[in-house]
Amino acid sequence: MIAVEAYAAAQDKERFQLLVDAVTDYAIYMLDPNGIIASWNSGAQRFKGYTESEILGEHFSRFYTDEDRATGLPQRALATAASEGKFEAEGWRVRKDGTRFWAHVIIDPILDREGNVLGFAKITRDLTERRKAEEALRESERHFRLLVQGVTDYAIYMLDTQGHVSSWNAGAQRIKGYTEGEIRGQHFSRFYTDEDRATGLPRHALETARREGRFEAEGWRVRKDGTRFWACIVIDPIYDDTKTHIGYAKITRDITERRDAQEALAQTQAALFQAQKMETVGQLTGGLAHDFNNLLMIIVNNLDFLTRTVHGVRERRLIESAHRAAERGAQLTQQLLAFSRRQPLQPALHNPSTLISGFETVLQRACGETVKFGLALPSRVSAINVDGAQFEAALLNLVVNARDAMPNGGDLKIAVSETELGEDRAEIWGLVPGPYVVVTVQDTGTGMTPEVASRVFEPFFTTKEIGKGTGLGLSQVYGFITQSGGHIKVNSTLGQGTTITMLLPAHSGTEPAVEEPESQTLRPARNSAGTVLIVEDEPAVLEVAKEIFDSLGYDALTAPDAPHAIEVLAGGSPVDVLFSDVVMPNGMNGFELSRRAREMRPNIKVLLASGYPMSALPPEGFDQDISFISKPYRWTELADKLRNLRTGS
């Protein structure tokens, strides 16, 4: 029986040894109590390099590095296993050929029934490849962190599942202004505008990224200092190895400059398209106006011939009606020529403040009773090289349009200032860079939609009812400003009003505008340009003259002849201008009246009129500072003469 048990035990020992020898991924061997190797399996031979005959009887410390042997690590390992029942560690071990490998080591004590240590069982596994993979992963993660931290053009950071910031790179700090210590743990919604937070955009962004695997958008974001920037945003959900959602990766780029550049390009393209369109329309309009003028010349001259041969009252009335229609047609062609920049101009250097202040009573009366009219005119401003009469006509056109946009009343302001136009803006508007005088006409009227505002300078375009306007007023202004080397633009908001801005090249000759507070420069317009005494023996002509002076803002006194005019002057009424016909009855002509008026009123201005040309009148009658205008005259000619009287030119 004992022999049978001994045989069975021997068989079990042999099978166990076969099992141990079959294991090649682990070094499994025995040590005696002093650490001498007592057994050796094939796995130990495979990755340590020693055969059983080479290693049996050797101390296991030869597998340790010189550094570990110097610190007594082999002895501590056996002592720990004996005292604590197990020793487990990882570290470098040495093969027979001297190369090193990273090993996972377990040492267990072998005890007898009384608890005495008979030796040690040692299992070693080669983890070099795994350690290399882990080190490579750590190195990759380190490089990735360095890469992310080194990126300054992009804000790259992590969010937890609720949207709180968990990491922060240098780009995020540069773009958004927060340090990592300030922002970590804060909710990312603080980067959004109040409007976006109110609509729940941050929450929607995270939900979209989680549901669709990505969220991408552009929009305004807010820096730490409260300023806004235009951002391109990408949010991606992050999952761990078990597909559990653990947060979000968020990348933000500041593309404000790109957006500004795109908007500037769009504005340039729109301005170029508008300029090309207006140029094309102007060429067509100018050609039509030229041809129409030729037709009108034929019509007017034929009507003149008919006037000489027709004697009937009815026929004369019909011819006069046709004459008025032809004159209206001539006015339209002048407006068309103005738009096409082919009208004859007589430019001269003018102080814009002086031009406007000299014309302000006309502008005031054009506004009507319900519009509050104010001016902001600096006393010193650069000159502009324009046709004075056309400038006034353009300003009057703008004021009338502004008045019509305020049927229930409002505020209308004309202001003059100066600006320096850089190359970028000048190129957009087709101007030469340099100093410009800025004239603005601003109202608080009904305003315009962007679509209407983009067409206001087109000829015949109007939003007024049929018969209330030709649609040529603003196109005439456009043509005049462009022909004068300037630019005109409109800025309007529906329901809030319109601002028309005219830029004209500034010229030296007067001092630059003084920067003054708005409240000091804004003032109401004068109600009267002064008082004129009109002396005319023809009642119909007198009435027309009175209407013209009234439209020009003057308070008019009238007299049918020179004696009555002297009575008015002697009566003490304020008179700034004497406007008299040259040839009059009752023994005193306009020359004599002007000399008598100068004796009575030394500062009075004198303007004489006659149906005869100036060359047919006696030259000795024209004293110094006496101006002359031929009949028939128009209000624009009369306004020009009066302006010259005021300026002394």
Q: What is the average per-residue pLDDT within 594-600?
A: 88
Q: Which tens digits make up the pLDDT trace of 149-176?
A: 555 678 888 899 999 998 888 888 888 8
Q: Output the pLDDT for position 173.
A: 86
Q: What is the average per-residue pLDDT within 75-95?
A: 93
Residue 611 in this model has a pLDDT that exceeds 90: no
Mean pLDDT score of the chain, rounded to an integer?
Answer: 79
C-alpha 299 chain-centroid distance: 53
Q: Output the pLDDT for position 386.
A: 87
Residue 284 in this model has a pLDDT that exceeds 80: no
Task: Give 515's pLDDT tier (boundaries 50, 70, 90).
Answer: very low
Q: What percent of the chain has pLDDT over 90?
A: 26
Nearest to 129 by CA among 120, 137, 141: 137
Q: Output the pLDDT for position 4.
A: 45
Q: Output the pLDDT for position 516.
A: 41
For the chain, the maximum distance between any two Cα atoms, rounded to a whole number of angstroms, is: 178
Which distant-in-sequence residues (6+ apart) come within 8 Å of 94 by Cβ?
A: 62, 63, 64, 65, 100
The CATH fold of domain 2-128: Beta-Lactamase (3.30.450)
Query: Which one is predicted more confidently, 437 or 327?
Result: 437
Task: Give 511's pLDDT tier (boundaries 50, 70, 90).
Answer: very low
Residue 468 in this model has a pLDDT that exceeds 60: no
C-alpha 41 chain-centroid distance: 80
Q: What is the average per-residue pLDDT within 608-636?
A: 68
pTM, full prediction: 0.41
Q: What is the CATH number of domain 348-524?
A: 3.30.565.10
Using only the alpha carbons of the chain, give its radius of gyration.
50
Cα–Cα distance measured from residue 587 to residue 562, given in angstroms and rounded to the nearest whole number: 8
DSSP string, 275-304: HHHHHHHHHHHHHHHHHHHHHHHHHHHHHH
Residue 369 in this model has a pLDDT that exceeds 90: no
Residue 7 in this model has a pLDDT that exceeds 60: no
Order of strands, sheet of 605-610, starting from the edge strand that comes earlier in the sequence:
554-559, 530-535, 577-581, 605-610, 626-630
Q: Output the pLDDT for position 383.
A: 92
- Contact by Cβ (8 Å): 599, 576: no
Q: What is the average per-residue pLDDT within 479-492?
A: 85
Q: Which amino acid is at 176?
A: K
Q: Which tens digits make up the pLDDT trace of 106-151?
A: 999 998 888 889 999 999 988 888 888 777 667 665 655 555 555 5
- Contact by Cβ (8 Å): 120, 75: no
Read off the tokens for 30.
Answer: 């025995």
Query: Which one is predicted more confidently, 453 or 458?
Result: 453
What is residue 540's DSSP assignment? H
Q: What is the average per-residue pLDDT within 28-45?
A: 90
Q: Output the pLDDT for position 430.
A: 78
Task: Give 504's pLDDT tier (boundaries 50, 70, 90).
Answer: very high
Query: Which one is predicted more confidently, 193 or 11?
Result: 193
Q: What is the average per-residue pLDDT within 234-250?
A: 89
Query: Which one is predicted more confidently, 62 or 529?
Result: 62
Query: Which one is predicted more confidently, 413 or 482?
Result: 413
Task: Give 253's pLDDT tier (boundaries 50, 70, 90).
Answer: confident
Residue 387 in this model has a pLDDT that exceeds 50: yes
Is domain 151-254 classified as CATH 3.40.50.10800? no
Residue 540 in this model has a pLDDT that exceeds 90: no
> Which residue shows structure tokens 């007023």?
473
Residue 412 in this model has a pLDDT that exceeds 50: yes
Residue 554 in this model has a pLDDT that exceeds 90: no
> Which residue shows structure tokens 């390099």?
49
Q: Output the pLDDT for position 617.
A: 64
Q: Output the pLDDT for position 342.
A: 45
Cα–Cα distance measured from residue 528 to residue 104, given in angstroms and rounded to the nearest whole number: 107
Q: Output the pLDDT for position 88.
A: 93
Q: Output the pLDDT for position 328.
A: 61
Residue 54 in this model has a pLDDT that exceeds 80: yes
- Which listed CATH number (3.40.50.2300, 3.40.190.10, 3.40.630.30, 2.60.40.1180) goes with 530-647? 3.40.50.2300
